[in-house]
Structure 1
């Protein structure tokens, strides 16, 4: 089926930041366009090299547990075509907790252009053949063919001419393995054959798709690439000449892209709004940068995120923080549309994070519900997910909360081209924010003891538990400063506490549930990570997936000429543990001083994991900082290594 040319957007529509479509026509120049892996249609940790034909992902530390996917830049809407994928090599990883046959694996297949690039074979519109000898579609795995690995070449053949059902099959090293799956490719099925083109034309085509875990692959789309076509099938690249090809999405430059920065207190509804926005604007192919992104790539089941899984899951979350850090550092150098889903209430933190996105259109999205609604959402999420943050953390953010301003506003020194207020408008938000700050200051003067909050920080995944407390009574809400149902506790001095003492300093979650094991019929393997905080950041209210403000922040260390997804990253420098630094507090009624005990160095922790053989790295540890210097986007221990608990998180938690 021949594709039609893409019509330019109407003048009334916003000029920007939509995906640029390139659709082939019959001209000779278009017919000669190469088929390669698409840097604009892959996971953020995926690198496209080798003249566009070689692909692999980051594999240091937590990335070793991640799957990373990519699609080719040409999809088909008819005909019989095939492409090849050779498993070139395995990447060196340290995964003693993972069975050897699950350390270096890959999946080869096809998917419709609008499918999630990291979910090959796990959605209704994608079909994949895995190295474990399994074929998958819509998350259902069945035995098919044989296992494959390094040195093997898999050819994927797609027959869209067969009626009434199309089918996909594979060969291994020239041996045909048979039909893997029949499917309806017509209007009532995938909608790619004899079907009207969608508004985004690449949503109406099937694309070559690979999903990798610690392997390097070489793709073959034509004879020049080394492809030996399956008998009866044409090379994938010939679909251009046949008029059966549609080009995938592409970005020409960062000027074609935008970054949305969510702004709001914990539990205000930022993630809910962002996820809805992504679904409503598929044409922009947003990447939602939050901690869930790392979990998705680790293939952690959603149910598992809500259940009590104990220490192994805590360690997994530690690794997820480091993954998030690295992805954020790559984002500004990879032209895409992004949503930064964190609190971002500090103006200094917003400016630091946005500084690398020089040519992007930058939009702030302020989620500010009425205080009573905010309290309701916080309590609701606590009941459903079992996450909380101490009130002093929320109050610190509240005290430093500055509503963002667009750069055309008088007195503004921020970078935003636009500021959106989906709930309360600016005037109402400003009024309620001022009222909440006054109430907080009044509460600090009248009550010298800090209370726990029902809030859960954006990146919080650890709830500190201890034996149930006696005489628990609900405490009244004080004009916008919410308290937990636990009795007030003295302000803790974290750094002098041993790991288990730190966790017992906050008794909140322990009374909401009892420890228990996670049980599921899922066959997904969940790794047990080393206890060391390899990245220097962890993910509770005292841990930060983002660097602190300062001249040597994360982005200032990124090579401005480095281009992720299109070549090698800079040389890897092993992470070195930084000494623990004392906490200090600068809010009214807060404890100020240094911890009295040297045990805060946590000498019992093992050294950071250092993997050999890779030129991919992660950001270096931040220098010690106090809360006074912290933008409070997420709190962490100033030395970068918060202690771990030996206990189990409560049930009902959602990550």
Structure 2
């Protein structure tokens, strides 16, 4: 079972408010449209993704374990109709030490589109996203097909989408001004992607396609208008004109830190914390929770499926060491990046809880304690061993159990 403890954020600390994701209506046309510029969205990117001051150039952390990670970002403006395009130029490679990785997989960029409620780190790996990668492959729903040609530093990739075409919409790409052809056709209506010929959803970004990049050790510059340097593909309009055309939807934006919350999971290994957290995330899409734990680090490294010690052998411990370092860095960045978070670790030691939560001073804090019956815990631990080939020693579990206590204030 799970129970919750709430701690509201402190008030009146004199600090200025910071922005956080919130729900916005579709962008109005006319004069108000001039207030919005298409750019990379700091509210819709990975925690390890950095956006430069011009709001068009992006890069991700690449030191140590982050060299193995992919990091994504979307633009702040999506579309629900029309024919539009945007560009992405690969500016440079980031220096990394990856002797155990093939050279052509150390510096890679994927460019494309996704629906606004898709995971930002999974471009081309879901049914609601389309990506063209530097290895010369196009992907959607994790199906990678040969397309176009390879690209890298100095190349300009333009992504063009046609949502006017019936019965199927289409997406294609060009490289350095040379059209590579239509990559795929797809149903954009209610029975497909759900972005055209439908009523706008309560969360508007769930009804639109957004420019999306996914990076691994490269720096990119986005082009959304001719003023940015975009040369549109024939028959397609620059992405920024979707605003004046009335086809634009605004992605999530920021509000105050005090409106953000951090949920701390507390429980023994294999007690069901991650299961509860993942279910909570799905049931509350408006919160756009970031689930912070070892699994997030493994997802960023694109470790396929669940981490199985039987399959990874000696690599298991190395991956886990890297995942721990990545988690600690992301936790520190999270406290400075207004979002809603779930901290998915055991957190049974009071000292560990205090160390992590003291960074989130202005957040609303919630503790979710998961404490199954001994029979259920034993069954869960056995299942975990069958999947991962790893078990927590009984003496370690007993030590944690002895430390598990809740403090009310």
Task: Report the TM-score, using the length of structure 1 for normalisation.
Answer: 0.58
Does structure 1 conserve the Cα–Cα contact (< 8 Å) formed by 2:21 and 2:339? no
Matches within 5 A, 1:402-481: 402-405=405-408, 412=409
Quote the Cα distance in structure 2 between the aligned partners of 1:401 and 1:303. Answer: 28
Matched, 1:169 2:172: yes
Q: In 2 relative to 1, CA 358–22 (structure 1 residues): closer, same or farther, beyond 3 Å?
A: farther
Which whole-Å deviations, capped at 9, do the CAs of 1:497-529 have from their partners, x for residues lacking one?
xxxxxxxxxxxxxxxxxxxxxxxxxxxxxxxxx
Structure with more of its chain in strand, by fraction: 2
Which structure has more relative contact order (CA 8 Å, sep 6+)? It is: 2
Q: Secondary structure at the match of 2:311?
A: coil
Does structure 2 conserve the Cα–Cα contact (< 8 Å) formed by 1:22 and 1:248? no
Matched, 1:49 2:52: yes
> How much does 1:334 deviate?
0.7
Counterpart for residue 361 of structure 1: 364
Quote the Cα distance in structure 2 between the aligned partners of 1:379 and 1:311. Answer: 22
Counterpart for residue 636 of structure 1: none
Quote the Cα distance in structure 1 between the aligned partners of 2:321 and 2:353. Answer: 24
Counterpart for residue 155 of structure 2: 152
Counterpart for residue 385 of structure 2: 382
Q: Highest CA radius of gyration, 1 or 2? A: 1
Does structure 1 conserve the Cα–Cα contact (< 8 Å) formed by 2:309 and 2:316? no
Q: Secondary structure at the match of 1:52?
A: coil
Let me know the Cα RMSD of the aligned residues.
1.6
Structure 2: runs of 5 or more not aligned? 1-19
Q: Secondary structure at the match of 2:54?
A: helix
Quote the Cα distance in structure 2 between the aligned partners of 1:18 and 1:175. Answer: 38
Quote the Cα distance in structure 1 between the aligned partners of 2:196 and 2:189. Answer: 5
Which whole-Å deviations, capped at 9, do the CAs of 1:472-494 have from their partners, x for residues lacking one?
xxxxxxxxxxxxxxxxxxxxxxx
Counterpart for residue 225 of structure 2: 222
Counterpart for residue 7 of structure 2: none
Matched, 1:239 2:242: yes
Q: In 2 relative to 1, CA 394–75 (structure 1 residues): closer, same or farther, beyond 3 Å?
A: same
Matches within 5 A, 1:317-332: 317-332=320-335
Matches within 5 A, 1:161-200: 161-200=164-203
Q: Secondary structure at the match of 1:124?
A: coil
Counterpart for residue 15 of structure 2: none
Structure 1: runs of 5 or more not aligned? 1-16, 406-411, 413-655
Matches within 5 A, 1:592-607: none
Counterpart for residue 30 of structure 1: 33
Counterpart for residue 300 of structure 2: 297
Counterpart for residue 127 of structure 1: 130
> How much does 1:377 deviate?
2.6
Does structure 1 conserve the Cα–Cα contact (< 8 Å) formed by 2:307 and 2:388? no
> How much does 1:271 deviate?
0.9
Which whole-Å deviations, capped at 9, do the CAs of 1:15-56 have from their partners, x for residues lacking one?
xx9733253113513333111111111111001114210000
Task: Report the TM-score, using the length of structure 2 for normalisation.
Answer: 0.92
Does structure 1 conserve the Cα–Cα contact (< 8 Å) formed by 2:87 and 2:156? yes
Does structure 1 conserve the Cα–Cα contact (< 8 Å) formed by 2:113 and 2:212? yes
Quote the Cα distance in structure 2 between the aligned partners of 1:250 and 1:319. Answer: 31
Does structure 2 conserve the Cα–Cα contact (< 8 Å) formed by 1:76 and 1:244? yes
> How much does 1:349 deviate?
2.2
61, 83, 89: which is aligned to 1:86? Answer: 89
Quote the Cα distance in structure 1 between the aligned partners of 2:397 and 2:299. Answer: 27
Counterpart for residue 570 of structure 1: none
Which whole-Å deviations, capped at 9, do the CAs of 1:315-337 have from their partners, x for residues lacking one?
12221211111111111111111
Structure 1 ranges of 4+ moved more than 6 A: none
Quote the Cα distance in structure 2 between the aligned partners of 1:241 and 1:167. Answer: 22
Q: Secondary structure at the match of 1:249?
A: coil
Counterpart for residue 119 of structure 2: 116
Quote the Cα distance in structure 2 between the aligned partners of 1:80 and 1:114. Answer: 21
Does structure 2 conserve the Cα–Cα contact (< 8 Å) formed by 1:157 and 1:233? yes
> How much does 1:217 deviate?
0.2
Counterpart for residue 553 of structure 1: none
Does structure 1 conserve the Cα–Cα contact (< 8 Å) formed by 2:21 and 2:252? no
62, 86, 106: which is aligned to 2:109? Answer: 106
> How much does 1:307 deviate?
3.6
Which whole-Å deviations, capped at 9, do the CAs of 1:454-483 have from their partners, x for residues lacking one?
xxxxxxxxxxxxxxxxxxxxxxxxxxxxxx
Quote the Cα distance in structure 1 between the aligned partners of 2:60 and 2:280. Answer: 28
Does structure 2 conserve the Cα–Cα contact (< 8 Å) formed by 1:123 and 1:138? yes
48, 64, 79: which is aligned to 1:76? Answer: 79
